[in-house]
Every structure is written in structure tokens, then in C-alpha cells.
Structure 1
Amino acid sequence: MAARTARPNIYISVDIEADGPIPGPYSMISFGASVAGRQDGAVYTAADPERDTFYRELRPISERYVDAALAVSGLDRDRLLREGAEPAAAMAEFRAWVREVCAGAQPVMCAYPASFDWMFLYWYLIEFGGDSPFGHSGCLDMKTLYAAKARVPLRAAVKGAMPRGLLSDRPHTHHALDDAIEQAELMSNLMLWEPAGPELPA
């Protein structure tokens, strides 16, 4: 029986900003996405992270929020209540964008770290439309990817300890699209990185 050939993967860097720690009681107030690159078998090809991007600011879905969380993004909650996109419409537009940029390939969401961003993004995709173009598990955590390649504990996988050449020169602004683009460059650098290290035991 012939081995199954995996579809190419398109990695999409996503960054979200929220007004609290969990989706539902609190809201995702903005999110940005940037195509980081394509993996076809063992070959990874980096993309221009500014070429294919998506950004929306969202209307909050509850009255609860945490001042400190809201302050991170600097977004005005009252303005978002008036002008933010309806979540259902924004998620429908995002699904369509993902499927367009990933035509013929399998989309994979990636983030640094992915746990927080994936939690909000997946919840919103399912709550507002019932469908995720990434499936239920199509995410990759850059923090884990670095820890595995560098052979360091996960808690030691911090940007300050990474080789400088892996990091983007772009600033981390806490604007969701800026940060998605910055982290798309980190993703490609990590995928192409071949660190020197001790031989693994036979």
C-alpha cells in the first residue's frame, strides 16, 4: 500500500488582542493574520509577511473586561462597541480569506505562544459560524518549535534567550497585525533554522 502524501501546509501567523483571559465571558477585540510560508514535504519556503494579511477590530460580546488586558492593545472599548465589526461577519470574512490564500494547501495557524491566541480564535470561529478552516487542531506553537529545535525546556524558550538571527527586526507593538507580521518572520526563521547541537543517542 502506497504511503499517503501529505498536502502542502500554509502557515498563517495570527495575533489576537483581548479584553480578558478567556473567550466567552471576555472578548477578542482585534486580530491580525499574515501568511508566513509554505511547507511542501521537507521544503519550507518563506513568504513576504506583508503580502497576504488580514486584520479586523471587533465589537465586544460581553460587558465584562479587565482594565489591564484592555490597556495592552490601547484600543478604545467604547469606540469598538460603536464601530467594531460584528464577530459573525468578521469570522466569515476571515474563513474566506484563509481558504483563498491556502487554495490547494492545508492551513495551519501559528503563534508565539499559540495557546492564548488559538483559544480565542478557535472559540470565535466555532461560536460565530460553527466552522474552522484549521480544523480542531491545526495550530503550531512557535515556543514549542523553538524548545524542540534548541533542546531547551519550554519555560526557557523565551525570545530574550533566542539567537538574535531568529528574531524579526520589527518592533512588537501590540497592534495585532504588526505582531502577526513580526511573528511570521520568526516562524520562517525557526522553520529554516538548523541549530548545531550534540548528537542524539543511537
Structure 2
Amino acid sequence: MSTSSIAPRYWLMIATLGLVWGATFLLIKLALDGITPFWLAAGRIGGKAFEASGAALEPYGRAACLSAAACYSVSSILTRRLPPVDPLGLAAIFLVIGCFIIFPAAWLTEGPPVMPDNRTLLIAAVLGLIPTAAANLLRVIVVREAGPTFMTLTNYQVPVWAVVLGAVFLGEDLPTSMLLAMVMILGGLGLSQFGKLSRLFGRGG
């Protein structure tokens, strides 16, 4: 399917993914009050970025971020090129594979998990069900039917939602520079997709 003929439901899907993944950062911040990072990741399954912090493991963290971006890119292409398969089963397989990787890594890095409090358990359950399981299914559907390139539009929305929700629910600062950055992100997104959005709303009118 070419991006010039993207159906309205796919636009709705990437808008939903942007909101869900943006809200994930808020929930992660709350969950980390009661659980360690690796076990939070395990529970889900089953320029500031370039400033030096001086932490001993900083190079490994940067390498992990780059590796994660590369994995997303490669997995999107491979997902698109797979033969016809049930999207629910495909999404489930991705999560099962993730379980076999993250659980041993969490155990080796942080030891056996400590039982968190009920609030943290609830947040971890929400993270596992919505931004991990449900969103992964939506991602598979979008990549398979609308293509990996169209899927990348989600990434531009995530920081916008993360900043807005953090300010609304956590009382985080929202300086003018950040507001300007959000306007630039949304403006660039609208400009790059102006033709497709015009056809979309023209079709609905």
C-alpha cells in the first residue's frame, strides 16, 4: 500500500500509538519508585541525550539506545516482508522472544525480583497490557498494512505527548523552549504530510 492511499484507520492507529507510547514515560517514572529498571522491563513483556553525565556505564547506555533504534528499524522491515500471517500471533511471538531475552538479563543484572507494592504492580500491569502488548499489535498491523515508513510518523508524536502529560499529571516544568520545540515538531509533521492529510480530510468531507 502506498502512503498516498493510506486509509483513515491507519492514521488513527499511529495517533493512538503516539499517545500511548508518550504516556508510557509518565507511567515508567511512577513505576520506578517501586521497582528496578530491568525488572520493570521484564514485567512489561511478560540535544539532552548527547550530554555527558559522567556515569561509568554511560557508553553502554548510549550503545543500548542505538541498538534499540537499529532493532526497531530492522524488525519493521522484516515484519513487512514476512509472508501472510495472523498479526495477533506475530505480535505475541515478538513478546515471547523478548521474554526469553529480558528475564535472564534482569536476573543477572539485578538479582531475583523483589515483590513491589500494589501501586507499582498496577502500573506495571498497565504498562504490560497497553503500551507493550496492545500497542505492539497495533504496530504490527500498521507496519504490515501501511508500511514501515508510515509507521515512523509515530516517533514524532511521542515526545510531544510525553512532555504534555508529564506537565499535566506530574507537574513537570514546561519552559518556552519546550513549547517552541513541540510547535516545530507538529508543524514539521503537518507540513511533511500536508498532501496526504488534505486528501484524508477531503475524502471525509
Fold similarity call, TM over 0.5 = no
* Structure with greater helix share of residues: 2
* Structure with the higher fraction of residues in strand conformation: 1
TM-score (norm 1): 0.26
**Structure ranking higher on relative contact order (CA contacts 8 Å, 6+ apart):** 2
TM-score between both structures, scaled by the size of structure 2: 0.25
